[in-house]
Structure 1
Amino acid sequence: MSDARAILGTLRRGDQPSEADLAWFAQGLADGEVSDAQAGAFAMAVCLRGLDEGGRVALTRAMRDSGDCLSWDLPGPVLDKHSTGGVGDCVSLVLAPALAACGAYVPMISGRGLGHTGGTLDKMESIPGLSTALDEARFAEVVRAAGCAIVSASAEIAPADKRLYAVRDVTATVESLDLITASILSKKLAAGLEGLVLDVKLGSGAFMKRREDAQALAGALVSTANAAGCPTQALITDMSQPLAPALGNALEVDAAMRVLTGAAQGRLHEITCALGGALLASGGLAQDAEAGAAAIAEAVASGRAAEHFGRMVQAMGGPVHFTDDWQRFLPEAPVIREIAAPAAGVVSEMDGEALGLAVVHLGGGRRVESDVVDPAVGLSDVVSLGDRVDRGQPLARIHAARESQAEAAERAVRAAIRIGEAAPETPLIVERIG
């Protein structure tokens, strides 16, 4: 008979818990038999000691099986994407409706902000009236009607992960490869997917700062998901700067809408096409990834992706005509100020994590689990690496609730953006795995 203290002792010694032990612990997380203190100790022990491949697969399956697993009967492949987290990363808001416009169905179970990174659910909930907390029946209705739904995991979906996810955010265990793998895949596998693409971020704004760490995580995710029966591939992508020129919940919705309505392209558009192309090819909706990327681009350019986004927003309680005049609906911060470049030169380096933390301290993320997120605050019009700026030219705009917060954010942003003579050239798609 397993018990929490014995399992924690096994991990503390550096030994591997059995499959039965991990199944018991996951169920204990789900039903409350494992205490908060024990959950935190488990997260720290796994972070420090690690699991082997078998343990990682066993923990993922156990967390998946701690609740319901969905099944679908739809006239198209059930596909999804997940990002390991970065700054200015609002790809899901563009990709899910674009995939739907191409004939796929996207039941996207997403998460909230972790550490310095934003959460897709927090971004969606900056839209007035919209609720991401749908029961399974309503979730299925929205997916069938709109082709996509971006929701929180219900109490019945991977409940073990729900508890462990919150613990990771406040115990400095976010970066654990094993916990990231189990957390991401337990929810995705429970969603009944027929294909998955993973966007593994690499760089200053990601959890993985070194290429070898990103490769290890991508490999673990791909091998674990495939071992569990879900065809999966991964793209390692650059996060040496924010993906969109905005950080913060409502501001990132605005950035996503600009892409969906053809008002902007850039890195956000490029990575959406790459990820979507890989998924359409794996789901049999495109001949190959290149053809799939072209189909995603056409779905965006034609307005069909925006139409699916609007249908999803309305079905989830948001404004009926959101995509027609989205800026009218999104909240605005009372304090907006520009950050002027201290000297002329080229934007040569950006500390993405520092930029993300600046948004957290503005109130756009959580420092403790009970924090209430302010959807209006953040950064907009952020410069890109390689941009040439004159002295006094804006590096970014701060959106804050109070002047004192704006002043603190300005100091943080100035320290995070460096002006030099040149910037390194880094490809957006660094590597494809699986």
Structure 2
Amino acid sequence: MSKKLAAGINGLVMTVPFGSGAFMKTEARAVELAEGLLDVARGAGVPMTALISDLTQVLGDSVGSGLQIREVVRFLTGEYREPRLLEAVLALVSETLVMGGLAGNLETARGIAWQHLEDGSAKDRFARMVLAFGGPADLVDLPERYIRDAPVIRPVYLEKTGFVSQMDCYAIGIALLGIGVGRTRPQDDIDHTVGASSFASVGSTMDATHPFCILHAPSEDAWERCSEALTAAVECSVTPAEPLPVIRSRLSTD
């Protein structure tokens, strides 16, 4: 909050996640954190909205820098929008439009956000942002020209069958960190080709024809180690779990 307030913001919209992939592991603790952040915002005279969000499963389709850029492009072009990520994006954008006075209410704001996705203006804006930061002008049109593939790309199948009931997102992150997705020290290099994509969600069928994800690894040995860790991070049940909304509640300074 200190960093955001020091930047001179006049409003703030953010998610406060909970779950195995979040700092706060329970919804109650996330609400407690959000209320503390809102108190700081009130003290600074800054309007703020906090959306309590679910991070008990992977949000979006990919983990890994190159893979996530590909996901952004697919999302903006409409090729594929992972449903939970789409809901989170629309919720955040809608709140921001209302707070900024660009829409009178959340329903109108959601329509505006959806229109900009569908008519390509959000995609075009992203392309201009990439160019402004020194990136290629045609990244959105030709991402394969700039984002290389990992040496080993194969699906990860679970030995368990049934339906995904829960996943340990922290363990998934640590497993992927081990193949170069992120840094453990500031001086470490990041391998932009590695990661995982096409994640199953809670409730998805798991059997010999439905993989949990596609693993992009730097070598066969790394694929084997990471695949084993990913498999251990997932639990299955004989009946599908009830799907849960990604945005659980809304708190604000109003």
Could you tell me whether the CA contact under 8 Å between 1:345 and 1:419 is conserved in 2?
yes
Q: Which residue of 2 aligns with 1:403?
A: 220
Q: What is the CA distance between 1:230 and its match in structure 2?
A: 2.1
Q: Output the CA distance in 2 between the equivalents of 1:196 and 1:369.
A: 29
State the SS of the aligned residue for 1:324.
coil
State the SS of the aligned residue for 2:166.
strand
The residue type paired with residue 64 of structure 2 is G
Could you tell me whether the CA contact under 8 Å between 1:200 and 1:235 is conserved in 2?
yes
Q: Which residue of 1 aligns with 2:131?
A: 314
Q: What is the CA distance between 1:402 and its match in structure 2?
A: 1.9
Q: Which protein has the larger Cα radius of gyration, Structure 1 or Structure 2?
A: 1
Q: 1:250 aligns with which of 66, 72, 76?
A: 66
Q: Output the CA distance in 2 between the equivalents of 1:337 and 1:424.
A: 29
Q: What is the CA distance between 1:236 and its match in structure 2?
A: 0.4
> Do residues 432 (structure 1) and 250 (structure 2) align?
yes
Higher mean C-alpha deviation, range 185-194 or range 288-297? 185-194
> Do residues 286 (structure 1) and 103 (structure 2) align?
yes
Could you tell me whether the CA contact under 8 Å between 1:245 and 1:384 is conserved in 2?
no
The residue type paired with residue 193 of structure 1 is I
Q: Output the CA distance in 2 between the equivalents of 1:366 and 1:358.
A: 12
Q: Which residue of 2 aligns with 1:241?
A: 57
The residue type paired with residue 122 of structure 2 is A
Q: 2:32 aligns with which of 200, 211, 216?
A: 216
Choose between structure 1 and 2 for higher RCO, CA contacts under 8 A separated by at least 6 residues.
Answer: 2
Q: Which residue of 2 aligns with 1:52?
A: none
Could you tell me whether the CA contact under 8 Å between 2:157 and 2:207 is conserved in 1?
no
The residue type paired with residue 368 of structure 1 is R
Could you tell me whether the CA contact under 8 Å between 2:181 and 2:190 is conserved in 1?
yes
> Do residues 196 (structure 1) and 12 (structure 2) align?
yes
Q: What is the CA distance between 1:392 and its match in structure 2?
A: 4.5
Q: What is the CA distance between 1:308 and its match in structure 2?
A: 0.5
State the SS of the aligned residue for 1:323.
coil
Q: 1:423 aligns with which of 216, 241, 248?
A: 241
Q: What is the CA distance between 1:320 and its match in structure 2?
A: 1.0
> Do residues 227 (structure 1) and 43 (structure 2) align?
yes
Could you tell me whether the CA contact under 8 Å between 1:343 and 1:391 is conserved in 2?
no
Distance change in 2, residues 1:187/1:331 (3 Å):
farther
Give CA-to-partner distance per residue, 1:385-426, whole Å, 9 cap, x none. 111232343211111112221111101110012221222432
Q: Output the CA distance in 1 between the equivalents of 2:37 and 2:150.
A: 38
Normalised by the size of structure 1, how large is the TM-score? 0.56
Which aligned pairs between 1:264-279 and structure 2 lie closer than 5 A?
264-265=80-81, 266-279=83-96
The total of aligned residue pairs comes to 250
State the SS of the aligned residue for 1:394.
coil
Q: Which residue of 1 aligns with 2:173?
A: 356
Distance change in 2, residues 1:233/1:411 (3 Å):
same
More helix by percentage: 1
Give 5+ residue unaligned stretches, structure 2.
none
State the SS of the aligned residue for 1:386.
coil
Could you tell me whether the CA contact under 8 Å between 1:273 and 1:294 is conserved in 2?
no
Give 5+ residue unaligned stretches, structure 1.
1-184
State the SS of the aligned residue for 1:346.
strand
State the SS of the aligned residue for 2:226.
helix
The residue type paired with residue 367 of structure 1 is T
Which aligned pairs between 1:74-223 and structure 2 lie closer than 5 A?
185-223=1-39
Q: Output the CA distance in 2 between the equivalents of 1:432 and 1:238.
A: 12
State the SS of the aligned residue for 1:322.
coil
> Do residues 304 (structure 1) and 121 (structure 2) align?
yes
Normalised by the size of structure 2, how large is the TM-score? 0.94
The residue type paired with residue 419 of structure 1 is C
